[in-house]
Amino acid sequence: MAILVASMVLVLALLGTSLLGLTYGEHKMSVQQLQQMQTYYIADAGIEHVLAMYLENPDFEGQSLVLNESFAGGTVTVTIINQVKSEDSTTVDFESLASYKANKRTLKVTAIIDSDGKLKISSWHEKYNVFPKAI
């Protein structure tokens, strides 16, 4: 009888330990995913901010507009990579690099601003680096 009770206690202890380990691993993955999403949205907010600044003053020359500031616990750097002016529109390539804790995300956006000041996004994509280092 004592052996049966000891075996049951051992089995329950092993199950409890396994569940704790599983829960801890899930928690770490959830935190990592949350931080990755936070980093993405910081990069997104940087692009949105610079697009608004650009629409207010579209007469920037070349690569002169750079935003480098803290935002939502991380940092974002947005740079004009390329700018092509034509008679009726201007095409601008932006790159937003955000970092939050150990995570980094990069967004690349191509916007077309016509002569009336209307904005059209022709490309908005992420440069994938979503697996930084393991926790």
Enumerate domains of the chain plus CATH numbers.
2-127 (3.30.1300)
Question: CB–CB of 122/110 below 8 Å?
Answer: yes
Q: For residue 108, what are the β-bridge partners?
A: 95, 125
61 band by pLDDT with thresholds 50, 70 and 90: low
Residue 15: pLDDT over 50: yes
Q: For residue 94, what are the β-bridge partners?
A: 80, 109
- The pLDDT assigned to 54 comes to 79
Segment 75-82 mean pLDDT: 88
Sign of CA dihedral 39, 41, 44, 49: negative
Mean residue pLDDT of the chain comes to 84
- The pLDDT assigned to 42 comes to 92
Question: CB–CB of 63/50 below 8 Å?
Answer: no
Q: Among the residues of 57-104, which ranges form H helices?
A: none
